[in-house]
Structure 1
Amino acid sequence: MNEPLSFDVSLLLGEHSNLTDDVIFAFQPQENKLLFLSAAFEKVWNMPREAVDSDLSLLINTVHPDDRLFIINAFTAIQQTKQKQRIEVRLMLTDQQEKWIGVNAYLTQYNGINTIIGTATDITAYKEYGNILYKFANKKNAILDILSHDLVSPIGNIQACARLLLKHAGPDGDEIVNKMLNIITENSERSIKMIRDLVNKEVLESSEVPLIMQRTDIIQRIAEVIEQYKRSYHTIKQQIAMVSNVNSLYINVDETKFMQVINNLLSNALKFTRDTDEIKVIVEDGEAAVLLKVVDTGVGIPADMQPFIFDKFTKARRPGIHGEPTTGLGLSIIKTIVEWHKGHIWFESAEEKGTTFFVQIPKNNQ
């Protein structure tokens, strides 16, 4: 716990509040009393401070209904653990405007009474900017998948055809034709290697970026990923759908990395399902954890490969049924990312019946 405040809290916070656009507050939960609220509150909340002073319930009512229990639990945790908390919540203001607020708060003593002191910052622009970056990242991932799926397969077919023609032509065939066929074979091989190197490099580099945890609506994000796949794969014939028992579900994750998990599992499902197969992403909201399932009705994982699926540079790696490349790193990296989120990943599979990957993430994974 921090040292007790030695002089008037209003004087201490009032002087600092003039130097920042952040909302500064001091609150005594046991007394249900707001000791201080800086003038910046009126700009962020679009309401006078006097209204909150006379009725604190107005303040909690400005929080988005889906986030109210979350912020109450966070402030309870501050009192119980005496640890600083950083949280993000949404506001629903009177004009139906939605804002994101980042709250930093800690527990101290004022006149012998537990007092929570903190700041609230309008992070709406930051969140919107993050959404733009996320959408661009989604497009980039889709392009990489197209490179590994829609390009490698036809180039591989070209290479195979050229080799077959060379075999039938034999050493006594037309010299110019043989030369052209060799050029086709070599360039096809070089192109496939370049695509594989690009995909491998992207997977490795993206896995090395540190975690940046933030509250994310994973239902919305998964829906966006599925929609991106449907738009990007113009030749896709597999059915992809999401099933969820809730319409919105916020958990604390590194958005980019966590969606890399979903992207990788969906990409693998597409590689090993036939055109008539079906892929589902199932989201189940539990009391303490969220369970995600990526289910396909594809070719399944051979029993002798299953013990090595999560190994780095696994000997279980194999090309997709259309010749799509594999790094042998994907599931190893995905397992690491899930464990960074204090989660657990496992699978069930049977040959010619399909595969289900399970990802369980605790709700309180800070």
Structure 2
Amino acid sequence: MNAPTSSKPSLPSVILVGVDFGHAHFDGELEELGLLAKTAGFAVADRVSCKRRAPDPALFVGSGKAQEIKMLAQSTGASEVLFDQSLSPAQQRNLERELGMPVNDRTLLILQIFAQRARSHEGKLQVELARLQYLSTRLVRRWSHLERQSGGIGMRGGPGETQIELDRRMIGDSIKRTKERLEKVKKQRATQRRQRERRDAFMISLVGYTNAGKSSLFNALVKARAYAADQLFATLDTTTRQLYLGEAGRSVSLSDTVGFIRDLPHGLVDAFAATLQEAADADLLLHVVDAANPAHLEQIQAVMGVLREIGAGDVPQVLVFNKLDAMDANHLPRTLDDQMELDGVSVPRVFVSALAGTGLPELRALLAQRVMACAPADALQAEGPINEFEDPVS
């Protein structure tokens, strides 16, 4: 008698759709959207890309391409369609009617990933706020009961009018409460920052494109055990540890922040203001770059755009080109540290491998120089390591 075989439930499959409007950063192979879909728990059934001068007002891709997507979904058994660009509520609603299946965009996909990954109280509040703000513009798309007539004493006329107003009011109240709770978190963070300033703490924040290896570098520098994985948005909650710099004779605060991404939804930028404030208030940013990624220059510009949006565009930076071990042999640097022009300014650059440890001594030496140049003389008398994550590297 054969033993029963257990099989894992298959993942829901999706069709990926991207439209080239002539922008330089268009991802023709939809690789990043595919990674986002995989991270959110989807299997990619197929990919569709096309060119247009402008979005179709009703269906974004036009009726002909919409029919092509519908036939492809039917033939592959896909249960959902994901667009690489943001869709308006009307376009989303029209596409769902045309295709006969759920249609979502890049914004909702990122929100879904953030909702799955948030662990701290603050992170969950931030994700909930972004989700509510996104949802508030799409009430009529998700609930068919809003189309039905509501009757009875006290009900105002119009099909579904009262129910829509009720749902909008409930979401509005939820947004207000969530903002109030986040405001308390901001005040707590402000108090913590003032305490660090009184201690003359030098604050360094790791920033960079998602999956550039920020958490791996963080772990390598402070010997921490922060979660790191080869996936998008592996880290959502800010983690801060003390980093001892022997050459400077003192410790500094090092924070690992959420990764950035191209076309980061504005709702998420606003909702994560408290977390991203760590970058805006830092004395120095370590801008981590995936040096092995062919699109790393575009990723640098995407990060710079978000930094400017959160008020951190003028914070001094050091470019850390990570994943040296994964770079093509023909593109390996001649030296581990040099200079690179960034937005018209010459910025220090260090090539490292967080996994192999290559370049970390050079990075530590550069950080020590920055700290000694900025810190007052009496601050250099600070004591050495204060916890198990701060052992100086010999």
Higher strand share: 1
- Which structure: larger Rg? 1
TM-score normalized with structure 2 length: 0.28
TM-score normalised to structure 1 length: 0.30
Q: Higher relative contact order by CA 8 Å / sep ≥ 6: 1 or 2? A: 2
